Structure 1
Amino acid sequence: MTFSAVLSNAKPAGATWRALGLLAILLVVLFVFSGRVSVVQVMDNARQAVPLGLIALGQALILMMGRLDLSVGATAGLANVVLAASFSGDMDNMAAALAITVFFGLLVGLANGVLVVVLRIPAFLATLATSLVLAGAILVYTGGSPRGSIPAGFRVITEGWVFGILPWSVVIWIIASLLLLAFVHYSLAGRKMLLSGANARSARRNGIAADRMVIFSFVLASFMATLGGIMLSSITGMASIGIADTYTVDSIAAAVIGGALFTGGVFLPLGAAAGALILFFLQSLLYVLSLPPAARFVLQGSIIILALALSNFKKDR
């Protein structure tokens, strides 16, 4: 790949710029109505947005393949329950707790991939079924009362700051975004995934195992959802049933606001990050304006419509 091609791939897409612009407008509005928006406040919101941001990255990968994953919220919830139970409040259990949690997350992704590719079940139905199975399994395992806790030593990943400037969790989010960006756009396997998402039939004609790419994308998405669940567990310090249920819809919203297309073939991690931050700053704005929580859904839906309308307008031109 030439240097000019690398620069072309690294340059944010128009949809990403629009998402960043919308984020900037939201910050200005928040500043106008609250009287101030400090760097610490922005970073604290970013810290809380990390779980959604990581899950949205995985959802963006699935959208890149022209599919949807409706199990990411349940997968993050599973990670929360398994991690807390495996830790049992003891930092000495960290290696085993993380290994067990990631294992179950990858297993969910593999199951999703097999259901979609081998059994030919539409992705949204397969992952919806998976989410229901996970919800039931969590209830059976916990008996409705999750046990265990996250030790204080582990919670530094979401409570600690690097030189008082960036939360550690935001650094992890940035690294994950850059790694996925590099993988998708600059590695052979990633470009095969991108081509498979854009046109699976054409990819197969060119010798690409498109079905394997689909399975791999679901495994990656579940890994990101698991990582998001781990971060969420670090923030809360405990397990809670249904703690990540809303993240399924929110992850789709964040990815779409950031420029993801349901037709596939596009991966914009910076846009997905902007989308996740927009959703969290919306909550801050609602609090400042003393609006009811239901207003969040109205604003969120309006932003998605605006993002899709702008995307379609640009394509028509």
Structure 2
Amino acid sequence: MSANAYLVRMKPAPASLRAVVLLVLLLAAFFVSARVFSPLLLLDNIRQAAPLGVVVLGQALVLMMGRLDLSVGATASMANIVLCATFNGDMANLVPALALTLGAGALVGLANGIMATKLKIPAFLATLATSMIVAGLVVFFTGGSPRGAVPAQFRAVTEAWLFGIVPWSALIWLVLLIGLMLLVHYTMLGRKMILSGANLVAARHSGIPSDGLIVLSFVLCSLLAATGGILLSAITGMASIGVGNGFTLDSIAAAVIGGALFSGGVFLPLGAMAGALILFVVQSLLYLLALPPAAKFIVQGGIIVLALALASFRKGRSS
């Protein structure tokens, strides 16, 4: 591939740029309301938004395949329970804690992928069923009273800053974003995934193993959901049933705001990052303005409608 082709692929999509512009406007409103501008405050918001941001990347990946994952919230919550129970406050349990948590996440994704491909169950129904099963298993095995905690040393993942400048959680989020961008846009596997998401029939006629790629997308999504649960656990420090349930709707909203399409074929990691930050900044802004929690859903819905309307308008003008 020529250097020019690489540069073209690196150019942000219009949908991503619209999300970034909206994010900048919201940040301006936030800092005006807070009556202070501080780069550290901005980075701290990014640090706190990192768990959701990582989950959004996985949701955007599944949406690229023309599917939807309604189990990411339950998976993140399960990751919190498994991680804390395995850690049990002891840093010596780091390896088994991470291995079991990510392994459990991968199994959820594998189950979702098999149901969506082999059993031909619509993805939103398959993942909805999975979320209910996972939530039920968590309550069953914990008896409704989860035990264990994240050791203080591990909480540095979200609490510590590299050289006092950049939060570690923000760096983890950025590394995962860049990794997925390289996978999807700069590898043959990624191009096959995009084609499968854009036109499944054409991909199959071209000899692309689309079912396997769909399963892969679900596994990666659940692994990212589990990673988001790990980061969330590092923030909370303790096990809590349903702590990540809000990630399901928020991840869909953030991905759509960032330019993801339910029809598939589009993966915009920069837009996904901007979408996650938009939701977090909206929540922070509403808190500063002392508005009721219900306002979050109203504003969030309005932003989604605006993002979709702008995308439809641009598509209509170009056709």
Q: Secondary structure at the match of 1:272?
A: helix
Q: Secondary structure at the match of 1:260?
A: coil
Q: Secondary structure at the match of 1:116?
A: helix
Counterpart Cα distance in 1 of 2:71 and 2:42: 29
Which residue in 2 is equivalent to 1:305? 305
Q: Secondary structure at the match of 1:153?
A: coil
Question: Letter of the aligned partner of 1:165 in structure 2?
Answer: I
Give the TM-score of the pair, scaled to structure 2.
0.98
Counterpart Cα distance in 2 of 1:290 and 1:156: 31
After superposition, the C-alpha distances for 1:158-209 in whole angstroms (9 at most, x for unaligned) are 0010122110000000000000000001111111111100111111111101
Residue 37 of structure 1 and its aligned partner are, at CA, apart by 2.8
Which residue in 2 is equivalent to 1:114? 114
Which residue in 2 is equivalent to 1:142? 142
Q: Secondary structure at the match of 2:193?
A: helix
Which residue in 1 is equivalent to 2:34? 34
Q: After TM superposition, where is structure 1 displaced by more than 4 Å over at least 4 residues in a row?
A: none
Which residue in 1 is equivalent to 2:60? 60
Q: Secondary structure at the match of 1:6?
A: helix
Counterpart Cα distance in 2 of 1:287 and 1:115: 41
Taking every aligned residue pair, what percent have the same amino acid on both sides? 61
Counterpart Cα distance in 1 of 2:271 and 2:40: 22
Alignment of 1:269-308 (within 5 A): 269-308=269-308
After superposition, the C-alpha distances for 1:3-33 in whole angstroms (9 at most, x for unaligned) are 1111111111000000000000001111222
Alignment of 1:1-317 (within 5 A): 1-317=1-317
Question: Letter of the aligned partner of 1:72 in structure 2?
Answer: V
After superposition, the C-alpha distances for 1:108-164 in whole angstroms (9 at most, x for unaligned) are 000000000000000000000000000100000110010000001111110010122
Given that residues 79 and 226 in structure 1 are in contact (C-alpha distance below 8 angstroms), is that contact kept between their aligned partners in structure 2?
Answer: yes
Q: Secondary structure at the match of 1:109?
A: helix
Counterpart Cα distance in 2 of 1:120 and 1:287: 43
Mind listing any 5+ residue stretches in structure 1 that lack a counterpart? Answer: none
Given that residues 27 and 37 in structure 1 are in contact (C-alpha distance below 8 angstroms), is that contact kept between their aligned partners in structure 2?
Answer: no
Given that residues 75 and 105 in structure 1 are in contact (C-alpha distance below 8 angstroms), is that contact kept between their aligned partners in structure 2?
Answer: yes
Counterpart Cα distance in 1 of 2:170 and 2:31: 22
After superposition, the C-alpha distances for 1:272-300 in whole angstroms (9 at most, x for unaligned) are 00000010111111111111111000000
Mind listing any 5+ residue stretches in structure 2 that lack a counterpart? Answer: none
Question: Letter of the aligned partner of 1:99 in structure 2?
Answer: A
Counterpart Cα distance in 2 of 1:73 and 1:42: 25
Give the TM-score of the pair, scaled to structure 1.
0.99
Aligned residues: 317
